[in-house]
Amino acid sequence: MKRLRLPVAALLLLATMSVAPSARAVVDPRRVAAGLVRVASGIADVTAIAAPRDGRGRLFFAQQNGIVKVRTSSGSISTYLDLRGRASQDGGERGLLGLAFHPRFSSNGYFFVDYTQPNGDIVVARYSATPSSNRARTSERRIIVIPHRSASNHNGGAVQFGPDGYLYVSAGDGGGGGDPDDNGQDLRVLLGKILRIDVDHSCGSRYYCIPSGNPYRTSNTARREIWQWGLRNPWRFSFDRSGGTQWIADVGQNAWEEVDRIGAGTGGRNLGWDCLEARARYQWHSYCSSRAFTSPLHVYNHASGRCAVTGGYVYRGRAYRSLANGMYVYADYCSGEMWGLAVVSGHWVNSLLRTFATTLRTFGESETGELYVGDGDGHVSRVKFAAR
């Protein structure tokens, strides 16, 4: 026994030493409060906040009218790109909706936007800039255009690079309410899906290829771009920069909002819409019984003025590591409530971090993993956390 003790003690010591102090701290959303530190004003109708990993400390804000602004590390703000001549200008849920920088932006200067054009179709396009410049080039390369003319709402609009280097795109179900064309459950269309495409290569006449691991890549009926399906309006989704778990916040119909968590590299999941709205049956088609649905991690109803989930990020920054490392932070657009979701003692715990007196439109991550939120008053703020 005594001979065993030493190695065990040594192993324990090693394990303790190899784990960062942050990982030892128990992150409990019930003990955390959120606050905001304003970093920009006058960013009307902000839809996306993003940053390239180029060491320059800049933040970029997409506005629904088609303007992308850059905030330098010294705090000065200027127009980076003006897409007002290309993006639809009728407001509502249309316009410039998403922004993502290529993982190798610092060498290739590529970034990608998601917008609706005046006829309603969803466009994902590549733009470029000299990486150090605070003004991008105005020429675009259209990567994919998704027909979306029957209604103006439910465009999705998030674009994100995954840990695999592929571009992921969220597309809403086509809108109109109740998914009248039942697009969410139809693998033949790109609406109501999250797509995964390889934008570093061209295949045939397309400026993208289908990654080898896409679940329907050999299908003759399903669209091969599809990564996840059964979605209504996945306005925001993100990847945990530690481990690559995908977090999808799917805006619900009249009753339920849902947050989905899907393991890194796992595609082909059916999130249920419109057979299901979150966990409740919505429109139970004859085929619904034979489909395997992935249940949401978390749902909430429309009580207390809540209306639409604004998906966020798993916090992996440095400033609040002991309080928030690994906590998924998200909000409701209408109620201004911001919540944290984390595993405490083996169970998922969801807790209100604070209620803000504004609408919460979109979240973003800085290069170093700090969280930012854009509100309905034209402010972009860094999210701070404090113990309570």
- Residues near Ca ion, by CB under 5 A: 178-179, 182, 274, 283
Number of Cβ within a 10 Å radius of residue 260? 26
DSSP string, 266-321: ----B--TTTEETTEE-S--TTGGGSPBPPPSEEEESGGG---EEEEEE---STTH
User: What is the C-alpha separation between 187 and 163, in angstroms, rounded?
Assistant: 25
Cα dihedral 283, 284, 288, 293, rounded to 10, equals 60
CB of 177 to Ca ion, least distance (A): 9
Nearer to Ca ion, 240 or 277 (CB): 277
Nearer to Ca ion, 44 or 255 (CB): 255
Closest-CB residue for Ca ion?
179
CB of 151 to Ca ion, least distance (A): 13
Nearer to Ca ion, 163 or 178 (CB): 178
- State the DSSP code for 10: H
Number of Cβ within a 10 Å radius of residue 192? 32
Comparing CA positions, the residue from 220, 192, 215 lying closest to residue 268 is 215
CB of 276 to Ca ion, least distance (A): 12
CB of 106 to Ca ion, least distance (A): 44
Query: Is 238 within 8 Å of 270 (Cβ atoms)?
Result: no
Nearer to Ca ion, 52 or 175 (CB): 175
State CA 329 to chain mean position distance: 11
Nearer to Ca ion, 114 or 173 (CB): 173
Here the tokens at position 106 are 């610092």
CB of 283 to Ca ion, least distance (A): 5
CB of 27 to Ca ion, least distance (A): 39
Nearer to Ca ion, 87 or 275 (CB): 275
Nearer to Ca ion, 110 or 229 (CB): 229
CB of 125 to Ca ion, least distance (A): 30
Comparing CA positions, the residue from 25, 149, 39, 43 lying closest to residue 94 is 149
* Cα–Cα separations (whole angstroms), residue 121 to 85, 137, 250: 15, 23, 20
